[in-house]
């Protein structure tokens, strides 16, 4: 499997630190508003990377944070007259709803910056002790960039160029810095802001230190893949590398993956242009599966343009997949022949060829556009070869392949049958009756039937409880 590594600017063979396991960190959103479709791109892309790694049999520890202390959150809290925590908690919940709609799996851990302050203070202290950081009179702590000789290795910038660029930008309030390149690790509180006590001053962490600390805590000093949008390469990821490698004396991440940006109608998404689109707005018009399809139908390292036309064609294309899956399901249920014929066995083996094509595309730096092309070839194959004469086993075999490939991409080919609360309660009541009548076979049958629909029963002292899986 090859991954394009921003660090080396080339595709490299993926070799995990530990066999069979992948440690992956993806920078998450700052939670002060509903997420927009620019935030959605890395969520969908790296969820797909994770799904493919899992499909390949890796155990993936996937960590993605919520930045819940930030100027924008504080500003919004002041505007609404509520606490910063209320704002961040509200938008974490909303973000999770959008993620579920896009079929993005919850991370193994979703740490929140405000819950990890102790770790940040401890890492900053280590950096101070090692001479990589220093506090100035007002209690601000800065990272001493020039002391880390490899600074700039991810963004491929050299220190001299950075220096001249920064001199022009130097802000008068930052005079206390030893060097214009130095960045903030800890800053003093301002009136009305959330703050924590530290050895340097009452204040709060800088943004970059948050990810270094959360990655270290939940994944360890060395990780396999660190990912995010390409706008994070500099300075955010460059600074994360500086902090983590100077603190831990280890290579922070082996592979750095970045998705390209998303434009709207060929223009950059910006507040001033008023062309911001939230995922929630899209969901009012489309199933979010369509948005997912749209994102995957381009290579993640290519800029992507969002337009109404492209969403319409994504919707139609996705329907071709779900309609084919629906037909296969129907054929499977209605077929009179059960067993595979010899001819069908051959065709089924032929269909496996599309799996190979799909995998080849994904192995080549997650080329989801080509992987989707393989899915469409399979759809065409199914539409041609699965007919009214086909056996149930054949229709089922092709359907299984289609569902499996779609699942890797996080696309739902066959919607689970919805079961209503009332139906569940009725079946539970029937099961209770069956048990009373000592008809345990029927009781078990009902339990299995519910389980197949994703309903888990639990017998407790207070009676039967159930939940959706």
Closest approach, Cβ 261 to Zn ion, in A, equals 17
Q: Are the C-beta atoms of 40 and 248 separated by less than 8 Å? A: no
CB count in 10 Å sphere of residue 327: 16
Number of residues that bind Zn ion (CB under 5 A): 2
Q: 23 or 331: whose CB is closer to Zn ion?
A: 23
Closest approach, Cβ 211 to Zn ion, in A, equals 3
Q: 211 or 213: whose CB is closer to Zn ion?
A: 211
Contact with Zn ion (CB under 5 A) among 27, 74, 321, 413: 27
Closest approach, Cβ 232 to Zn ion, in A, equals 6
Closest approach, Cβ 190 to Zn ion, in A, equals 23
Q: 211 or 405: whose CB is closer to Zn ion?
A: 211
Q: 252 or 293: whose CB is closer to Zn ion?
A: 252
Closest approach, Cβ 361 to Zn ion, in A, equals 29
Closest approach, Cβ 65 to Zn ion, in A, equals 7
Helices and strands, number each (H, E), in the chain: 15, 15
Taken as a whole, the chain contains a residue count of 469
The span from the CA of 298 to the CA of 312, in Å, is 15
Q: Are the C-beta atoms of 295 and 288 separated by less than 8 Å? A: no
Q: 240 or 344: whose CB is closer to Zn ion?
A: 240
The span from the CA of 124 to the CA of 114, in Å, is 16
Closest approach, Cβ 243 to Zn ion, in A, equals 11
Closest approach, Cβ 44 to Zn ion, in A, equals 18
Closest approach, Cβ 22 to Zn ion, in A, equals 18
Q: 127 or 211: whose CB is closer to Zn ion?
A: 211
Residue showing tokens 């079961």: 419
Q: 27 or 135: whose CB is closer to Zn ion?
A: 27
Q: 28 or 180: whose CB is closer to Zn ion?
A: 28
Is the N-terminal amide bond of 459 cis, ω within 30° of 0? Answer: no
Say whether 275 sits in a helix, a strand or coil.
Answer: coil
Binding part of the chain for Zn ion, among 122-130, 207-215, 313-321, 428-436 by CB under 5 A, reads 207-215
Q: Are the C-beta atoms of 337 and 387 separated by less than 8 Å? A: no
211 binds Zn ion (CB under 5 A): yes
**Sign of the Cα pseudo-torsion (351, 355, 361, 367, in order):** positive
Long-range contacts of the stretch 451-455 (C-beta < 8 A, 24+): 453/416, 453/417, 453/419, 454/416, 454/419, 455/419, 455/424
Nearest alpha carbon to residue 143 among 241, 222, 218: 241
The span from the CA of 204 to the CA of 210, in Å, is 10
Closest approach, Cβ 26 to Zn ion, in A, equals 8
Q: 30 or 368: whose CB is closer to Zn ion?
A: 30
Binding part of the chain for Zn ion, among 27-35, 142-150, 217-225, 404-412 by CB under 5 A, reads 27-35
The helix (run of H) or strand (run of E) holding residue 374 is helix 368-385
Binding part of the chain for Zn ion, among 206-214, 277-285, 300-308, 390-398 by CB under 5 A, reads 206-214
Binding part of the chain for Zn ion, among 53-61, 137-145, 208-216, 281-289 by CB under 5 A, reads 208-216
Q: 28 or 410: whose CB is closer to Zn ion?
A: 28
123 binds Zn ion (CB under 5 A): no
219 binds Zn ion (CB under 5 A): no
**Buried residues in 360-393 as b, exposed as e (16+ CB within 10 A):** ebbbbbbbbebbbbbbeebbebbeebbeeebbbb
Query: What is the binding site for Zn ion (CB under 5 A)?
Result: 27, 211
């Amino acid at each position: 499997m090859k991954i394009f590594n921003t660090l080396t600017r080339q595709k490299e063979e993926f070799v995990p630190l530990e066999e069979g396991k992948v440690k992956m960190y993806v920078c998450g959103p700052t939670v002060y508003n509903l997420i927009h479709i620019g935030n959605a791109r890395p969520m969908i892309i790296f969820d797909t990377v994770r799904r493919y790694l899992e499909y390949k049999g890796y155990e993936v520890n996937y960590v993605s944070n919520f930045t819940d202390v930030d100027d924008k959150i504080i500003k919004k809290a002041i505007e609404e007259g509520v606490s910063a925590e209320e704002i961040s908690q509200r938008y974490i919940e909303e973000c999770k709803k959008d993620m579920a709609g896009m079929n993005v799996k919850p991370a193994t851990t979703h740490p929140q910056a405000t819950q990890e302050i102790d770790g940040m203070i401890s890492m900053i202290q280590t950096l101070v002790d090692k001479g990589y950081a220093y506090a100035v009179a007002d209690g601000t702590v800065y990272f001493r960039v020039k002391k880390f000789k490899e600074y700039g290795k991810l963004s491929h910038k050299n220190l001299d160029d950075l220096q001249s660029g920064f001199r022009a930008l130097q802000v008068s309030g930052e005079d206390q810095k030893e060097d214009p390149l130095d960045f903030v690790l800890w800053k003093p509180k301002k009136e009305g802001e959330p703050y924590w006590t530290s050895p340097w001053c009452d204040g709060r962490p800088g943004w970059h230190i948050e990810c270094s600390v959360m990655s270290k805590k939940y994944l360890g000093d060395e990780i396999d893949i660190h990912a995010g949008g390409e706008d994070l390469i500099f300075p955010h990821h460059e600074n994360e590398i500086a902090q983590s490698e100077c603190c831990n004396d280890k290579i922070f991440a082996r592979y750095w993956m970045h998705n390209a940006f998303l434009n709207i109608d060929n223009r950059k998404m910006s507040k001033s242009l008023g062309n911001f689109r939230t995922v929630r707005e899209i969901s009012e018009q489309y199933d979010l599966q369509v948005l997912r399809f749209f994102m995957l139908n381009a290579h993640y390292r290519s800029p992507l343009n969002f337009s109404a036309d492209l969403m319409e064609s994504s919707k139609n294309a996705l329907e071709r997949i779900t309609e084919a899956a629906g037909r296969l399901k129907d054929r499977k249920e209605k077929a009179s022949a059960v067993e595979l014929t010899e001819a069908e066995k051959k065709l089924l083996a032929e269909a496996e060829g599309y799996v190979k094509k799909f995998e080849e595309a994904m192995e080549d730096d997650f080329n989801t556009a080509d992987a989707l092309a393989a899915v469409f070839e399979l759809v065409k194959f199914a539409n041609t070869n699965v007919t009214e004469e086909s056996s149930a086993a054949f229709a089922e075999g092709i359907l299984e392949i289609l569902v499996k490939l779609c699942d890797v991409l996080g696309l739902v080919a066959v919607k689970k049958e919805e079961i209503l609360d009332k139906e569940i309660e009725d079946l539970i009541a029937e099961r209770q009756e069956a048990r009373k009548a000592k008809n345990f076979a029927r009781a078990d049958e009902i339990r299995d039937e519910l389980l197949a629909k994703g309903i888990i029963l639990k017998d407790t002292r207070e009676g039967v409880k159930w939940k959706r899986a």
